[in-house]
Amino acid sequence: MNRRHFLHQSTLAAATLASTSFTSSALASSQPTARKFTMSLDPGAIGVKVDQTQLIDYAAKFDFEAVTPYPDFLAKLTENEANKLLEEMQQKKIVWGVAGLPVEFRQDENTLREGLRKLPTLAKGLQQANVTRVSTWVMPTHAELNYLKNFRQHAERLREVATILADHNLRFGLEYVGPTTLRNAKKYAFVHTLEETQALIEEIGQNNVGVVLDSFHWFTAEEDVKDILTLSNGDVVAADLNDAHAGRSAVEQIDGQRELPMATGLIDTQAFLDALVTIGFDGPVRAEPFNQKLRDMPDDKAVSSTAKAMKKAFSLVS
């Protein structure tokens, strides 16, 4: 399916869905009652600096169900060490979330090549430890490349990444970044919506590539439930749950200033999670608030506060 056909089909689907009104209550009444996604702990997003085993211990202590895998750590484990780690995780009822992509593809060609050179070893370590998901984000702006040139560069570079990850049975998620304030920070705007991300994925042309949904970017891109309901479980690699800064409209939000889930109520957490339940999403859901107050807390307090917010949100669908 070429890109023109893809966009045509997407337009038809959106037009069909637009004829139906979806509210949180209506969606909740028709959806399955049980969630399949996991509450995942991502330490970097909340300013917590711990190693992989400490992260697993924190997750167990505060009732998280999944943790972010560390590619560098897992790549150094022997097969026996990886199996032992998996046994410990099973005992603590912890599974893997989604790993961050260990390749810097946004800079110069030499930096990209160095990352791609190391990626097979890191991907092999993830595969050995039974990790199945990797994600990255797409910057919605560029100082020098216009939209088309940037689109082509992203497709070419991410295709190479996706191919290596596919060789190791790893799904690859792309997160679009919605805030208008960030998109306008440099000369050229770039991908910042779900529809554009789907077009980029279609251009990459690898079956293991999907999207990362973030409630903050969903809100700032001014999308709604209908957009999520165009997806299936197989389209979504991971999801992030946040709230928006009080006193700002969707177009005024700043990417690095978010809140923990349900902190302000600006984002319709119920609708977002209900939609994930409806499409049968079975991957990790992380809090990614990039909140300075949270980052300034001691590690225990930051994890505890995040767990409390996530549990409150998950109670809406659990």
With H, G, I as helix, E, B as strand and everything else as coil, classify residue 76.
coil
Q: Which residues of the chain have pLDDT under 70?
A: 1-33
pTM: 0.89
pLDDT of residue 8: 40
Segments making up each domain of the chain, as ranges: 30-314
CATH code linked to domain 30-314: 3.20.20.150
Indicate the burial class of 285 (C-beta count within 10 angstroms; 0-12, 13-18, 19 or more).
Answer: buried
**Over the range 9-41, which residues count as b (16 or more CB within 10 Å of their CB) and which as e?**
ebeeeeeeeeeeebebeebbeebeeebebbbbb
The secondary structure of residue 101, as a DSSP letter, is P
Continuous H helices in 129-178: 147-166
pLDDT of residue 308: 98
pLDDT of residue 34: 87
Distance in angstroms (rounded) separating the CA atoms of residues 126 and 118:
13
